[in-house]
Amino acid sequence: MISPPTGTAGQGRPLRIALGIASAGRPSILRETIDYLTGLPDQAERLIVCVPVIEDAAGLADRRDVDVIVGSRGLTAQRNRIIQAAAADTDVLIFLDDDFIPAATFLSRMAAVFATKPDVAIATGEVLADGVLDGGLSMAKALEVLYTAGEGAEHVADVYNAYGCNMAVRLAPVVEHALTFDEQLPLYGWLEDVDFSRSVARHGRSVYVEGARGVHLGVRSGRQPGRRLGYSQVANPFYLIRKGTMSKGRAIAQIGRNILANMSGVLLKDRLIDRWGRLNGNLLALTDLVVGRASPSRILEFGTSSPHEMPSPSIATERR
């Protein structure tokens, strides 16, 4: 377990930390990450995995060091199920992607921030490398990056939102105010981290913890066809503007960056990403906005190419 940092959860006890991972259709990746996490010197009190079907947690269901639960398919729904499972006995819940590899000191550094800074409601760590940008990283490469980087100095600064690939939240305000991930953002839940972060940030600080390090493998198996993702790149920010969890300026700037990136990718013949599909989805969403029918859930009407279609829960660096 994590050594108790200075500061407690109240009533003289240390903070209770849990890890939560939502996954679908990637049992080998999930198992590799779990094996790594359970081998670290610092351990959370609980490690909770939520999958849509038990086969997605192959090799984990009978392990005593992992709590496997089954929930409705979709990142937001699965993360809500994890919150429900953790709420009764957890102070800080750390959501990780199923291919996020934290450094050995990641948990203890996050725990120390929440223990010593009671005004912090949500936090995100430092992503040293993200395989989403170049076709994916291997576990061996991630470990090399972590070893080369070392521990680094800890620094805490305010940030607009936490990144979904590693997102730690204090559960007390979440439970008190009945905060949840928005299940109107289906499947991979594009921008679910922004929406949830801004909701939680109404009840405390949102911070970036430099020195709480990790690597996002960015494995592409199980990821979304470009058309669906491209549609979400436009429709979801406008949905969050209406909801009040994303500023208009920030949303429009991000939409513009996404469209320009997809146009450039088409012109440069990007072979790593389905830029044609994403650009098609961008244009379809813009058309839907004009006629008044744009909605995040519209992607459920598009065809699917995989029975396990839900990507690794975050494409954090790629979308910023």
User: For the chain, what are the domain ranges?
Assistant: 17-216, 226-301
Give the Cα separation of 121 and 204 in Å (integer).
5
pLDDT of 9 strictly over 70: no
Q: pLDDT category, 272, cuts 50, 70, 90? A: confident
* Residue 77 in tokens: 């729904």
Q: pLDDT category, 233, cuts 50, 70, 90? A: very high
Q: Element (H or E) spanning 259, and its range?
A: helix 248-267
pLDDT of 224 strictly over 70: no
Q: 206 with 122: CB under 8 angstroms?
A: yes
pLDDT of 73 strictly over 70: yes
* Residue 236 in tokens: 């979801």
Segment 155-165 shows an average pLDDT of: 96
Q: What letter represents residue 67's amino acid?
A: D
Q: pLDDT category, 302, cuts 50, 70, 90? A: confident
pLDDT tens digits, 289-299: 999 999 999 99
Check residue 314 and give its pLDDT: 41
pLDDT tens digits, 17-58: 999 999 999 999 999 999 999 999 999 999 999 999 999 999
Q: Looking at domain 17-216, what is its CATH homologous superfamily?
A: Spore Coat Polysaccharide Biosynthesis Protein SpsA; Chain A (3.90.550.10)
Q: 26 with 35: CB under 8 angstroms?
A: no
pTM across the whole model? 0.90
Q: 122 with 170: CB under 8 angstroms?
A: yes
Q: Smallest Cα–Cα separation from 312: which of 94, 166, 129?
A: 166
Give the Cα separation of 3 and 40 in Å (integer).
13
- Average per-residue pLDDT in the chain? 90
| For the chain, counts of helices (H) and of strands (E) | 9, 9
